[in-house]
Amino acid sequence: MPDHPLAPDWLDRSRARLAATALAPEAEAVGRVVRVADGIARVTGLPDVALGALLRFEGGQHGFAQALDRDAFDVVLLDDANAVVAGDRLSDTGAVLRVPVGEALLGRVVDPLGRPLDGGPAIDSAETRPVERPAPSIIERDLVSAPVETGVLVIDSLFAVGRGQRELLVGDRATGKTALAVDTIINQKNSDIISVYVAIGQRATAVERVIAAVREHGDPGRCIVVVGSAADAPGLQWIAPFAGMTMAEYFRDRGGHALIVLDDLSKHAATHRELALLTREPPGREAYPGDIFYLHARLLERAAKLSSECGGGSLTALPIAETDAGNLSAYIPTNLISITDGQIVFDTHLFAAGQRPAVNVGLSVSRVGGKAQAQAMQAVSGRVRLDYAQFLELEMFTRFGGISNARVSAQIVRGERVRALLNQPRYCGLRLVDQVALLAALAEGALDAEIPGRLPALRTRLATWLDAHAPDAVAEVQADGMLRDEARVALVSAVAALVADGGMS
């Protein structure tokens, strides 16, 4: 029979276990919510809390420390603010805000904390990283020398985007900024670049359109969509670009290549201003806090081309900013223009006139430019921007009367063809060799006899026509990005034959 609970040997064992137990006082730091309003909780206690520390409320909600005072501090809530009430207890997790990273995120739609929004299973990732990470140092960076092919002729030929570059897309509302960024993501289905799209304060319908476009025309298995929608807590919207950058850095740090679209940083700046005012930070110009420039600088500096010693990976950023009535000198646009390596400016009047994409060639610039272009593109795009800019000026003068000078008339004819070529509908990306063939044919005068209105139909047939009539030249350009004389002649001849064929089937 078993020993009676009060048997002497049982008592001896119990005394031995008690003697081996360390009985000492333990201190646990606990904070308490004083008040909650507008996604901000005022908290007392936790005297050793650090700025940006991740905190957990007794109901399971999370937040991060934002503004530290002597006797209290403010917590930005990351979950439903209605679930936190005055008097609730909270504790310091001892960690900073982290998100899952890795290939498990590919093809998924997640919130800024990595929680799935697409109805799929939870993200199974063995690694997490902080949302705030230092940017690569200068010694760890390399020159931007390889292109990110957008498939959009006006960008690839005039304002090339290099791997590791930060190119700002700026313009008024509804002028095609997101459309160009989505076209760039779609075009990466034929490349080795992983794409991350970050929606910041966007309507749910707008995000759904982006997701649908990528699924229909691109490769969703090579994309990550991070959504901090307008209906989410301000704290989630605030961390969205940092979380997306961390997810993209995972692929860059492993020697791969990534592209991140931040749509858009104007709304992110407004969210930062909202949180700053709610936490009683001193307002500055246009009520933005004084660290608004540093906020976006430390974010965008994380995009870089790494040196071969660091793996040779790259992270390219396409931040988007919205202007009001085309005012590029507003506070946030000027900040972002000074941080980035160039800007693509979208014009309302061009958009209304039917030009797609509505890129203002005179105001747009890439500070990397030809250094990131393939040699084939450099060989054919040198004078396109100058010729087009001269055409736009001449076109203004022709409104006052006819032009009798033959040279000027020829410039106008050439400019009309350039404008027709640069007018490109959505989801119609062009290969490098297609763009090179069009620009080479334009330079050789092979398109001068073609009516500008027929050029879109010609562009639609171009890829299959070149594959059939100049396969060796196509393979050569696609293989190494070089345009040799024999290939150039073959491509121009093929385009001329297509023009002679009527451009349309």
All domains of the chain, ordered by start, with CATH? 31-95 (2.40.30.20), 100-373 (3.40.50.300), 379-500 (1.20.150.20)
Beta bridge partner(s), residue 196: 224, 260
Among 446, 393, 382, smallest CA distance to 417 is for: 446
**CA pair distance 201, 250, nearest whole angstrom:** 24
Q: Are 92 and 55 in contact (CB under 8 A)?
A: yes
Between the alpha carbon of residue 213 and those of residues 8, 182, 354, the distances in Å are: 77, 8, 21
The phi and psi torsions of 130 (rounded to 5 degrees) equal -65, 150
**CA pair distance 225, 208, nearest whole angstrom:** 10
Lookup: tokens for 255: 């020697």
The beta-strand segments (E) located in 97-202 are 98-101, 109-110, 127-130, 168-171, 193-200
Active site residues per annotation: 367
Specify the pLDDT at position 453: 83
User: Residue 157 corresponds to which amino acid?
Assistant: S
Strand (E) or helix (H) holding 252: helix 234-253
Specify the pLDDT at position 150: 95
The beta-strand segments (E) located in 269-326 are 314-322
pLDDT one digit per residue (tens) for the chain, 505 residues: 455 555 667 777 777 887 777 766 766 778 899 999 989 999 998 888 998 899 999 988 999 998 888 889 999 999 888 889 999 999 998 888 999 999 999 999 999 999 999 999 999 888 999 999 999 999 999 999 999 999 999 999 999 999 999 999 999 999 999 999 999 999 999 899 999 999 999 999 999 999 999 999 999 999 999 999 999 999 999 999 999 999 999 999 999 999 999 998 999 999 999 999 999 999 999 999 999 999 999 999 999 999 999 999 999 999 999 999 999 999 999 999 999 999 999 999 999 989 999 999 989 999 887 888 999 999 998 888 888 888 888 877 777 666 667 777 778 888 888 888 999 999 999 999 999 999 999 888 888 878 888 888 888 899 999 999 999 999 999 998 999 999 999 999 999 999 888 654 4
User: Residue 369 corresponds to which amino acid?
Assistant: G
Q: Are 134 and 91 in contact (CB under 8 A)?
A: no
**CA pair distance 144, 165, nearest whole angstrom:** 7
Number of H helices, E strands in the chain: 16, 16
**What phi-psi label fits residue 123: left (phi over 0), alpha (psi between -120 and 50 degrees) or beta?**
beta
Among 124, 121, 127, 60, smallest CA distance to 93 is for: 60
What's this model's pTM, rounded to 2 decimal places?
0.91
